[in-house]
Each structure stands twice: as structure tokens, then as C-alpha cells.
Structure 1
């Protein structure tokens, strides 16, 4: 139970139902990054499928990182924050196998899972969602459609897919790549479940997304890619005889990050 005695899944779901205060969800890739983010007050942490795959030298989105994802969830699931896991398409086209993965994630402490359609058949992802909700009713299922991420942004197809996922039992829906304010507001009005949008420098600010009615704002792989970029920039500075810029956590902070993680699962600050 959480500090407020609510089941973890229920507490996490509640973070998606705060009008004007969307869940700002950072994506971590290991214990250190998750602990550092939690220490800054984020009540929920997600994983990034790209980061998990890249860290072990595998491609993202090809269902090859199931065991690596489960291993990371095992590392993070017992920590004092809500954990939701990016599981690509569930690592299988068999809904029962996807449900089995959800059971394993729930067993190690994850309270949410992100499942994507990859522009495949909507009825397949709907079947996966239904199987997960039947197997783990308390798991928050965020259903992602890639119509804007890798498709042509067809509004009718997007709505058709999202409707199928809502009917299958999805607790929230995710449309990465959608950055048009009018399009976002239109989806919010037509959906029955919370809308998740991927933060983009080309899109609305966090405050604007809140005004539009977005319930959840994900960072995706941005933090991981920024971390890689910071490492490259630091090496370029050092090679040129300059002191590296940016924030550098101390050795002790990285060595024992749990000392600074004080946010509880029921906390609301910054996330």
C-alpha cells in the first residue's frame, strides 16, 4: 500500500485525473537516472524502450529487449515512486504472452505499461490490451498509436484506433508526434480516457498542454539522448581545454543516490 493506503495502481491512475495539472513523466534508463529524477520530486518514472535497447546494443521496436526490460523493472519496481514500463508492442503478437509479461512487470512493482501498435492492426493491440486488463486489472495500460509518429497523421484512423483501444480497456491513450494544439484539443474533447502527448520542442509547452486538457506528458527518449549529447559535449570541451558546462552530480551523489530519494508513491510534487 502507498502512504495514503491506496493500491499503487489506483494512486498512479489518479495522477492522470487532475484537471490543469498533467502528469509530467520523465523516462529513465537505469537506477541512477530514476533515483536522481525521483529525488527532484517526480512521483512517477517511466522507462524508455530506446534507452533500454541502445544500452545493450539492440535496435528499438523489434521485440528483442523483453528480458532487458524485465531486468530493469526488477531493479526499479521496489523503489518509492510509481513505475510505468515502455514495453514496445508487448514483445509478442500473442495477447496471452503479452499478458504474461504484464504479470511479471506487476509482480516486481510496475504499476503501468505502455503498449504501442506500430501501425499494425488495431484489433491486435486491442486484443493485447484486453488480455492484460483481464490478467492484471490494476495495471494502468497506456495504449499508443503511431499514426503521427511514423504514419501520415490521419485523424480518422487515429480516432478509430484510439476508440478500439478505449473499448478494449485502455486506461489512457498516447499519440506521440502530434504537436498541433488544435488537433490535441480536438482529441481531448472526443476521448473518454486521459490523453498522453510526447513533449516536443516543436510543440506546445507544458503549460500550454495543460491548458489544452492533456493529462500526461511523456519525455520518451529525450533525457537519454540529452545525456549522451552532454557526454559528447563534455569530451569536446575537455579536448579543447575548456571546463565542461552543465550540471555534474558529485561522486557521492551517484554512488548512493538512494540517500536523496525522499519522494513517496503518493507525492504529487513536480509530477
Structure 2
């Protein structure tokens, strides 16, 4: 946990933390072999690997998948944070214990639920505070802000949620789908802690790396890919399969 938390602080603006998203044990080992110091599972990617639509993975299967990923890289000392959707309606204490049983040291939690409807921000902030109280310093809490992907483009709405989540104990906020230009506005609006941005996984590596630096200079602390790396990998496998035919 100390290692994972430290990775989010003291970074230069042009060097955000890049966390690939493994969807199974094999992809986790591949990313570690490539040199990444930590991993962050994507909910949509794990769902796809298990044959489910995003957000439809039964919690028992999601926790089991996370546990396999953790087990694959734990001997190498690599921490894993897990996307566990909107928490599956579990009470805070139960959610924390089930997550800790997997060996994960952090989690993403959405602030929209079934039907892709935004949750009441104050009730959600209270729930995040309960999770922080139950977890203590055992989990890195990445609170997703879903306004941009739920049809609310107003940056002020994202700032309001982000500030409440930080006050509730979130270690990082994640304005998924936010345009890059929203980052400096969120910083100017008082968002002080680490900020997670999602980046495309498509295109040449040098172009992607330049994009990471640009996001960092705008205010991003860490970069994740959602299911993008899985999509890129399965596209390559499809191309390989066609060539074999």
C-alpha cells in the first residue's frame, strides 16, 4: 500500500503514473514483465474476459478474477488495484473485507449505478466515507466521477462531486470521459489530490506516450485505459487468426 500510494505523489507534471489494465493472470504477468510497477484492473475488460457485458459481472466472479490476477503477480511484489464497478450494493464493511480477501490494495468505485444513472452525490460521498472508515489505510480509494459519461458536461458538476469525494477520504478522483481541457479547470476549482484520466490505447506507442505527457501537464496524475488494452489485444489476435486461415 505504501508503495502504491507513493507512486501517486511527487510526480513531475510530464510524468504521470501509467497503469495498464490486466484482464486475467496472463495479461497481468505480461505487463509486469514489460516493467510496470503496479496494475489497475478494468471492470469492462475483466467482464469481457469472463463473457459479460460491462457492469453485469456477478460480484463473486469479479472478486475471483481479481484474486487470480493478484496471485499471479504477488510473488513479484507488484500491487494491484481493482475496478469493482459500483460496489454491487454491498454494505461498506462487507465490500472492504471481500476486496481485501482478494489481495488487492485499492479499488475504483463508480458513482452511477444500474441504468447508468448518477447516484445522489451526498449519499454516495457518505458511503465512500464509510468505506474509508472500514478500510482505514489498507485500501487506495479511487472515486470515479461519472458526470461526463452520463450526459452532464458541466465541469462545475464534476468539481462538486470530486471535492465531496476527496473530503470523504478518496485518495484519487477519476472524471471518466472528461475532455482534457476540463483538467486545469478542475484543478483551479480546488481539486488538489491525484486525478485519474483514461487514455486511448490505439495508435503508435510514441504518440500514446506524448498524449500521456500532455495529460500530465494539464493536471492528470495517473493514466488508465479502461478496456482499451484488451480491445487492442483481441484485435491483434483476430488479425493473427485471419492470417492463419
TM-score under structure 2 length normalisation? 0.85
2:219 maps to 1:207: no
From 85, 98, 107, the counterpart of 1:113? 107
CA separation in 1, counterparts of 2:54 and 2:168? 26
Q: What residue number does 2:115 align with?
A: none
CA separation in 2, counterparts of 1:124 and 1:228? 39
CA separation in 2, counterparts of 1:128 and 1:68? 23
Q: What residue number does 1:72 align with?
A: 65
Q: What residue number does 1:249 align with?
A: none
Q: What residue number does 1:133 align with?
A: 132
Confirm or deny: 8 A CA contact 1:53 1:65 kept in the other structure.
no
Per-residue CA shift, 1:91-148, capped at 9, x if unaligned? 11x5xx2431222222332111100112221123212211111111121100001111
CA separation in 2, counterparts of 1:236 and 1:148? 37
Per-residue CA shift, 1:158-196, capped at 9, x if unaligned? 11111111111111000111133x321222342121111
Q: What residue number does 2:44 align with?
A: 50
Task: Spell out structure 1 runs of 4+ moving beyond 4 A.
Answer: 201-204
Confirm or deny: 8 A CA contact 2:92 2:134 kept in the other structure.
no
CA separation in 2, counterparts of 1:150 and 1:230? 31
Higher RCO (CA-CA < 8 Å; seq separation 6+): 1
Per-residue CA shift, 1:17-63, capped at 9, x if unaligned? 1332321010001100001101111111111111222222222124x
Q: What residue number does 1:260 align with?
A: none
From 78, 86, 90, the counterpart of 2:87? 90
Q: Which protein is bigger by CA-based radius of gyration?
A: 1
CA separation in 2, counterparts of 1:76 and 1:124? 32
> Gapped runs of 5+ residues in structure 1?
1-8, 240-271
How far residue 149 of structure 1 moved from its aligned partner, in angstroms, is 2.0
TM-score under structure 1 length normalisation? 0.78
Q: Secondary structure at the match of 1:178?
A: coil
> Hey, which of these two has a bigger chunk of helix by percent?
2
CA separation in 1, counterparts of 2:230 and 2:96? 24
Q: What residue number does 2:10 align with?
A: 18
> Gapped runs of 5+ residues in structure 2?
113-117
From 7, 19, 29, the counterpart of 2:23? 29
